[in-house]
Structure 1
Amino acid sequence: MTTIRRFCCDDLLRFSSVNLDHLTETFNMSFYMTYLARWPDYFHVAEAPGNRVMGYIMGKVEGQGESWHGHVTAVTVAPEFRRQQLAKKLMNLLEDISDKM
């Protein structure tokens, strides 16, 4: 069973196992904190039972007027949780949030 919820500060200390994958672009802590502070609605984490981080999506909004849109900065899923359409679910969530905002 997977739980998708908003990312919180404590998650920054728990998601390193996902970021160790060579396909995942990583950033410094201040970068993640900036996204969390400025666009909290666009930062979500997927958890397995036992609060194990399966993956996350990080995005933001940008543009003006008609060009206002959501932007995906990072989406990643730990190798052991891939091929379950988790990234697709995270992308759909971000798209829904962008449409509502």
Structure 2
Amino acid sequence: MTTIRRFCCNDLLRFSSVNLDHLTETFNMSFYMTYLARWPDYFHVAEGPGKRIMGYIMGKVEGQGESWHGHVTAVTVAPEYRRQQLAKKLMNLLEDISDKM
């Protein structure tokens, strides 16, 4: 069973297995903390059995007035959890949040 929830500070110490994949761009801790502090509604994690992190999405809002929009900064799923439409679910969540905000 997969649970999608907001990313929290403790997840920064638990998501390295997802970031070790060569297709995933990684950032420094202060970058992740900035997103977590400024756009917490746009930072989510998919968690599987045993609280294993399966993937995450992080985004932000940018622009003003008519050009205001949500922006996907990173979306990644650990190799062993791919081909299950998890990234699609994370993207749909970010799109829904952007529409509501």
Q: Normalising by the residue count of structure 2, what TM-score does the alignment of the two structures yield?
A: 1.00
**Unaligned residue ranges in structure 2 (runs of 5+):** none
CA RMSD of aligned residues (A): 0.2
Residue 90 of structure 1: CA displacement?
Answer: 0.0
The size of the alignment, in residue pairs, is 101
Residue 23 of structure 1: CA displacement?
Answer: 0.2
Residue 49 of structure 1: CA displacement?
Answer: 0.8
Residue 16 of structure 1: CA displacement?
Answer: 0.1
CA distance in 2, matches of 1:50, 1:5: 15
CA distance in 1, matches of 2:4, 2:49: 11
Residue 17 of structure 1: CA displacement?
Answer: 0.1
**Unaligned residue ranges in structure 1 (runs of 5+):** none
Residue 81 of structure 1: CA displacement?
Answer: 0.1
Residues 10-35 of structure 1 show CA distances to partners (whole Å, capped at 9, x for unaligned) of 00000000000000000000000000
Answer yes or no: is 1:72 the counterpart of 2:75: no
CA distance in 1, matches of 2:2, 2:51: 10
What is the percent sequence identity of the aligned residues? 95
Runs of 4+ in 1 over 4 A off after TM superposition: none
CA distance in 2, matches of 1:46, 1:65: 32
Residue 48 of structure 1: CA displacement?
Answer: 0.5
